[in-house]
């Protein structure tokens, strides 16, 4: 990672969170994943540093036969950092703190596992003085108890706003996004 270059922290962009019928799947997971893939493509084109954090098999939310493979379009590439962790927060991997410590640039968070992993990562970032900001349109969520995915997504975003750690995608500076693509592969004007 280059000092001063924006960082995109990609959290739990794994098939477990988009596959129909899985316990932590987001009903709108395909849409969120497409937004995340678009942000990742834009970050790469803009020269940002990318850090991917994945839960490994047997981690708290991926026990047994979880689908740990990356979501297509969101896979880490050579030269990008991939951290596999067991804990809920991205900071459960001991190397994340060192990577973000003193980089001197902006850092943004996208991914799945709201309100658990995304919110825990935001709190841990705040405790460490890292300026990690959640991109609101790139928040994947799941049903938790009686709360539906839309409710847990809103809870995560509202918490980030109250922490002054949320931003709308259109307000992210220095990110050139590719045009959106429809499900049929056509570019949307």
72: CATH: 3.40.50.850
Look at residue 184 and tell me if it is in a domain.
no
Look at residue 84 and tell me if it is in a domain.
yes
Look at residue 186 and tell me if it is in a domain.
no
Looking at the chain, the whole-number percentage of residues with pLDDT higher than 70 is 88
Look at residue 165 and tell me if it is in a domain.
yes
> Which residue numbers in the chain have pLDDT < 70?
1, 3, 57-66, 181-189
Look at residue 185 and tell me if it is in a domain.
no
Q: Count of domains in the chain? A: 1
Mean residue pLDDT across the chain:
89
Look at residues 45, 55, 50, 47 and name the one whose alpha carbon lies nearest to residue 22: 55
Look at residue 188 and tell me if it is in a domain.
no
Residues of the domain holding 104: 7-171
Rounded to two decimals, the pTM is 0.90
Look at residue 54 and tell me if it is in a domain.
yes
Look at residues 180, 165, 168, 133 and name the one whose alpha carbon lies nearest to residue 8: 133
Look at residue 68 and tell me if it is in a domain.
yes
| H or E element in which residue 11 lies | strand 7-11
pLDDT, tens digit (0-9, with 9 covering 90-100), for 134-162: 999 999 999 888 999 999 999 999 999 99
């Amino acid at each position: 990672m280059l000092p001063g270059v924006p960082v995109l922290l990609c959290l739990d962009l794994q098939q477990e969170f988009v596959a129909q019928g899985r316990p932590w799947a987001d009903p709108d997971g395909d849409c969120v994943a497409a937004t995340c893939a678009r942000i990742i493509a834009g970050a790469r084109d803009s020269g940002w540093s990318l850090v991917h954090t994945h839960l490994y098999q047997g981690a708290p939310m991926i026990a047994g036969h979880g689908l740990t493979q990356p979501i297509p379009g969101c896979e880490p590439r050579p030269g990008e950092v991939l951290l596999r962790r067991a804990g809920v927060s991205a900071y459960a991997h001991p190397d994340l703190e060192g990577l973000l410590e003193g980089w001197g640039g902006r850092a943004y968070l996208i991914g799945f596992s709201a309100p658990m992993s995304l919110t825990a990562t935001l709190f841990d970032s705040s405790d460490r003085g890292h300026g990690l900001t959640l991109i609101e349109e790139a928040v994947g969520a799941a049903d938790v108890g009686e709360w539906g995915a839309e409710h847990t997504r809103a809870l995560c975003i509202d918490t980030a706003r109250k922490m002054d750690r949320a931003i709308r995608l259109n307000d992210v500076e220095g990110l050139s996004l590719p045009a959106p693509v429809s499900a049929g592969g056509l570019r949307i004007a």
